[in-house]
Chains A and B, each alone.
Chain A
Amino acid sequence: MEQITQFVAANLIYIYLIAFTVLLGFEVISKVPTVLHTPLMSGANAISGVVIIGAIILIRSSESDDYVSLIFGTLGIVLAMINVVGGFAVTDRMLEMFKKKKKAQS
């Protein structure tokens, strides 16, 4: 119990951050129209690749002979990077199609 109160006290700012981000996230995303739900999903998906930051920090703080951390950490970077680059690239490809239509119409 004591550990939990200590944790809350030490991380209060993060708890605020989470609460506000949740509300902000709901607010921003509920405005996205149905037409754009697939790009929203793939774009959001790319953002979830932000776990790569953790993998980079992990590898940087590992000893250079700690091969378990290095190999699995690098694997983590590869996987998350596929998620990031692929996600943003494919979202861009989809949104390009929507944009083209707008010009053709006007």
Chain B
Amino acid sequence: MIKTILDIGFLIAAISFINGLRRLSTPATARKGNLIAGAGMILAIIIAIIYPLGDEGSGNYPWIIGGIAIGSLIGWVAAKKVQMTAMPQLVSIFNGLGGACAVLLAVLEMLKSSADNKIGIAISVFTLLVGAISFTGSILAYLKLDGKVKDKHVILPGHTYVNIAFLIASIVIAVLYVLNPSSTMLIVLIVISLVYGFSFVAPIGGADMPVVISLLNSLTGISAATAGFIYNNQIMIIGGILVGASGTILTVLMCNAMNRSLLNVIIGGFGSSGGSSSGADLDGKTAKEVSSYDAAVMLNYSSSVMIVPGYGLAVAQAQKVCKELDELLSENGVDVNYAIHPVAGRMPGHMNVLLAEADVPYAKLKDLDEANAMLPSTDVVVIVGANDVVNPSALDDPGSPVYGMPVLKVWEAKNVIIMKRSMSPGYAGIQNPLFFNDNSSMFFGDAKDSINKLVTEIKSLG
């Protein structure tokens, strides 16, 4: 009787996960959706604590309650303190912790299960492998995003082959373990899968970060789902698969946004290969500079402005002044919008969150297709700290590493102002012919200072 009621409770929790995710499809219902999913999780945890297990020993409730209390406290504080620019790091680290929990469960299960239960062992081994890759992979992703580890410090020569070797070795050891479990093999398996996680993420960096975060997210979901098989628990399976599906979709979207296959991203090294054909014919041209006064006049007397924010805007914490510029221009009757490339920022949708934090209404945030439709009729484009996502080589230079990547066609607008620290190429290390166009002008300086100057100039135009 009580068991059935609790089983229905698990069902309700599972439905609330799905319902919560469904409500994330519009900003208006999204917050409620997240709360519904959260409530489902609380329900599932309570049921797991009181569910009759039949033959259970001692309950050990102090351990459970203690663990929940400590974890909640740490999670809560971390969530309240994090800066929005540091969101990718936080999501990575949280993701790694979920993977670590799956690893612990798998290992404890492997210590207990009998050697005859081959399928049970195989599921645990799979959970261990996937969870471990996600755990150490996420930790390295966190370190890279936080700037604590530079890409070049962790890439070995021939890293692709190292990774292939790791993959084969972990599969072989996993199979050997399933056939003949021993504690020595278990330790080898744990170590190799943890090291493989690091090695897997090591060559991926720079502009590929949104892909790798999505992929790691998906792996954690899969390991949670297979851990659900270990415990015959439907809610773990459903929850895990939903996360796996979400991570997979985002991975595919991010890959499409860069016109690269997942394999290509994993093998890695954006910009490390690729031609340099675009470099030569630019030597003769020089980019022209624009003064803050001229830029201010241009903006103030235009009728439509499109701001293209890149990670440079986030680094300079220029979202707030950007919004100030937006308000000032809007008061003068200029139509201001934002063109957001799918890979702007360091994780999917990151730039939208940063601008939302600065109170920019989400109706002004245009995605790639919307923005490209609006650009030909736009008077002035202001590019703030973006580079590769506005590179025309992506369309017309097959030798360029960005060739084929969908980009914002900012050069179709009447004027383009590019705010940049210097002429140095972007994150991917690729030269951008856009800077040398006749209707382009450069505005050098820190993004925040530059926008502040514009704001002051426009105010003085009165």
Instruction: Please provide the chain B residues from 97 to 117 with a CB less than 8 Å away from any CB of chain A in the complex.
Output: 97-98, 100-102, 104-105, 107-109, 111
Instruction: Please provide the chain A residues from 18 to 70 with a CB less than 8 Å away from any CB of chain B in the complex.
Output: 18, 21-22, 24-26, 28-64, 68-70
Q: Is the CB of B60 within 8 A of A81?
A: no
User: Please, which residues of chain B bring their CB within 8 A of the CB of A102?
Assistant: 27-28, 361-362
Stretch from B218-226, B258-266, B290-298 forming part of the interface with A: B218-226
Interface SS, A side = helix
Q: Is the CB of B365 within 8 A of A35?
A: yes
Docked pose: A47 CA to B111 CA in angstroms: 27
Q: Is the CB of A53 within 8 A of B63?
A: no
Q: Is the CB of B231 within 8 A of A38?
A: no
Docked pose: A35 CA to B26 CA in angstroms: 9
Q: Is the CB of A46 within 8 A of B41?
A: yes
Chain A, residue nearest B233 (CB) = A53
- One digit per residue, 1 when the CB lies within 8 angstroms of any chain A CB and 0 when it does not, for chain B 399-430 equals 00000000000000000000000000000000
Docked pose: A65 CA to B34 CA in angstroms: 39
Contact A53/B44 with A88-B37, A102-B27 known, Cβ cut-off 8 Å? yes
Contacting residue for B105 out of A3, A29, A51, A91, CB 8 A: A51
Interface size (B, Cβ < 8 Å)? 114
Q: Is the CB of B75 within 8 A of A94?
A: no
User: Please, which residues of chain A bring their CB within 8 A of the CB of B75?
Assistant: 81-87, 89
Docked pose: A105 CA to B38 CA in angstroms: 28
Docked pose: A43 CA to B349 CA in angstroms: 13
Docked pose: A50 CA to B10 CA in angstroms: 12
Interface SS, B side = helix
- One digit per residue, 1 when the CB lies within 8 angstroms of any chain A CB and 0 when it does not, for chain B 327-360 equals 0000000000000101000011110110011011
Docked pose: A28 CA to B33 CA in angstroms: 12
Docked pose: A43 CA to B248 CA in angstroms: 15
Q: Is the CB of B27 within 8 A of A54?
A: no
Docked pose: A54 CA to B67 CA in angstroms: 13
Q: Is the CB of B94 within 8 A of A86?
A: yes
A95 within 8 Å of B (CB atoms): yes
Docked pose: A91 CA to B31 CA in angstroms: 8
User: Please, which residues of chain A bring their CB within 8 A of the CB of B104?
Assistant: 55, 72-73, 75-76, 79
Docked pose: A77 CA to B72 CA in angstroms: 10
Q: Is the CB of A47 within 8 A of B359?
A: no
Contact A86/B105 with A36-B349, A81-B75 known, Cβ cut-off 8 Å? no
- One digit per residue, 1 when the CB lies within 8 angstroms of any chain B CB and 0 when it does not, for chain A 89-103 equals 111111111111110
Find the residue from A17, A46, A79 having the highest chain B CB count within 10 A: A79
Chain B, residue nearest A101 (CB) = B361
Docked pose: A97 CA to B152 CA in angstroms: 36
Contacting residue for A50 out of B22, B229, B239, CB 8 A: B239
Q: Is the CB of B241 within 8 A of A39?
A: no
Docked pose: A105 CA to B361 CA in angstroms: 7
User: Please, which residues of chain B bring their CB within 8 A of the CB of A42?
Assistant: 87, 90-91, 94
Listed by A's residue number, 19 A-B pairs whose Cβ atoms lie within 8 Å are: A18-B225, A29-B246, A35-B367, A36-B24, A38-B348, A41-B214, A42-B94, A44-B21, A53-B236, A54-B102, A58-B108, A60-B60, A63-B57, A70-B60, A83-B94, A83-B98, A83-B101, A93-B79, A101-B359
- What 4 A-B pairs have minimum CB-CB distances, sorted nearest first? A81-B71, A37-B349, A25-B245, A77-B67
